[in-house]
Amino acid sequence: MTKLIVICGATATGKSGLAVNLAMRLNSVILSADSRQVYREFDIGTAKPTLTEQQLVPHYLIDICDPTDTMTVADYQQQAQALINSPPSPSSPSSPSSPSSPSSPSSPSSPPLFLVGGTGLYIRSIVQGMKIPRVAPNLELRSQLESLGQSQLYGMLQQVDPVASHKIHANDIVRTLRALEVFYITGTPISQQQGEKPPDYPILQIGLDCDVEKLDIRIRKRTEQMIADGLVAEVEYLCQKYGFELPLLNTLGYQEIKQYLAGDISLDAAKELIVLHTRQFAKRQRTWFRAYPQIEWFDADDPELLEKVWQRVQNFLDNSNSAN
């Protein structure tokens, strides 16, 4: 039976390093749960696993989408579930980031899969089996709807899908548009297409966290390292190749360097903005993950972190195998 170990938490808490160490001990593979690492060429600013880490442990669900494309949660869920249902072999000669060439389904003694990242919605889509309407964004329809204004749009939503309207705030234009888009494309209210069906395989969810002050230090050190690793050159290259208006270049770490390249701020100011915005992002991540009691939390700064988590993983695997 497939077994899944989730390593989650806020940015800069050391999820990737811990996962690599655990996966090496178990001869396992890692499935990324990061909404930006799926995009090719966005490497340094997304803290994508290094080539060394990818050589030590095969990583999947990174570099699977062009920057000009859109990876929806439904797209991610589909690819992740395919890998979980037919686990890839750690020694597979295929590209680690490719979902192709899976091995046969795992036996009770097979190593677990690791799902690692900080994108809460990606993780939730897997561990809780979210039912997601597979409706691609329709830009023409959205443009027509947006021209009506949020007040009228919300009134329309109350008429066609009162259940969804009770869950969506009257000022939430993003979710209002999505609900109307799904309804007008499929003819079925989005509330009737949603829900959850948790998987039947065992799941262990490990969360990493630390004091806010220590997390701030981690964030600052990582920002400095990204700059040293060539973040400015990466952003400059991406701007030249795809243009300054590429939506991904307006995300954390890229937007601030883009401002520097445009001459609007100094590099030091860009660094401080990255630290500030990363700190704010980490706060939102912590709030998200803390809402799920299934997550077992560990101190990211504990010098015995690896051994403590390793012991918990062994207990989980022993219990899972005995249950079979």
Residue predicted with more confidence, 146 or 104: 146
- Position 243 scores a pLDDT of 96
Name the residue type at position 26.
L
Residue 120 and residue 139 in contact, taking contact as beta carbons nearer than 8 Å? no
Does the pLDDT of residue 148 top 70, yes or no? yes
Q: Is 310 left (phi over 0), alpha (psi -120 to 50) or beta?
A: alpha
Q: Tell me whether domains 4-132+196-210+287-323 and 212-285 share a fold.
A: no
Helix (H) or strand (E) holding 96: none
Go through the chain and tell me how many residues it has: 324
- The burial of 144, by beta-carbon neighbours within 10 Å (0-12 exposed, 13-18 middle, 19 or more buried), is given as exposed
Q: In Å, how far are 148, 179, 280, 299, 315 from 308, measured between CA atoms?
A: 55, 44, 29, 10, 11
212-285: CATH number: 1.10.287.890
Name the residue type at position 196.
E
User: Would you kindly state where each structural domain of the chain is located, as residue ranges?
Assistant: 4-132+196-210+287-323, 139-193, 212-285
For the residues 261-267, what does the mean pLDDT come to?
97
Rounded Cα distance, 9 and 16, in Å? 11
For the residues 224-243, what does the mean pLDDT come to?
98
Q: Is 310 helix (H, G, I), strand (E, B) or coil?
A: helix
Phi, psi of 84 (to 5 degrees): -70, -40
- The burial of 52, by beta-carbon neighbours within 10 Å (0-12 exposed, 13-18 middle, 19 or more buried), is given as exposed
Does the pLDDT of residue 97 top 80, yes or no? no
E strands, the chain, are 4-9, 30-32, 59-60, 113-116, 130-131, 195-196, 203-209, 296-299
Does the pLDDT of residue 100 top 50, yes or no? no
Match domain 139-193 to its CATH number in 1.10.20.140, 3.30.470.10, 1.10.10.10, 1.10.10.60.
1.10.20.140
- Position 108 scores a pLDDT of 45
Q: Give start and end residues of each alpha helix (H) in 27-149.
A: 51-56, 73-85, 120-127, 139-146
- Position 88 scores a pLDDT of 87
The pLDDT tens digits of the residues spanning 150-205 come to: 999 999 999 999 999 999 999 999 899 999 999 999 999 999 988 888 999 999 99
Name the residue type at position 263.
G
Rounded Cα distance, 155 and 141, in Å? 17
Does the pLDDT of residue 103 top 60, yes or no? no
The pLDDT tens digits of the residues spanning 285-306 come to: 999 999 999 999 999 999 999 9
Name residue, tokens 């290094």.
Answer: 50
Residue 68 and residue 75 in contact, taking contact as beta carbons nearer than 8 Å? no
Q: In Å, how far are 112, 170, 213 from 154, measured between CA atoms?
A: 45, 6, 41
Which of 108, 149, 130 is closest to 199 using CA atoms?
Answer: 130
The two three-digit tokens of residue 171, written as one number: 């000022």
Mean per-residue pLDDT of the chain: 92
Q: In Å, how far are 160, 242, 264, 314 from 239, measured between CA atoms?
A: 42, 5, 16, 46
Phi, psi of 256 (to 5 degrees): -70, -40
Q: How confident is the model at residue 324 (pLDDT cuts 50, 70, 90)?
A: low
- Position 109 scores a pLDDT of 62
Phi, psi of 203 (to 5 degrees): -130, 130
Rounded Cα distance, 169 and 177, in Å? 12
Does the pLDDT of residue 101 top 60, yes or no? no
Name the residue type at position 28.
S
- Tell me, what DSSP letter sits at residue 295? P
Rounded Cα distance, 57 and 27, in Å? 8
4-132+196-210+287-323: CATH number: 3.40.50.300
Pairing of strands 130-131, 195-196: antiparallel
For the residues 244-257, what does the mean pLDDT come to?
97
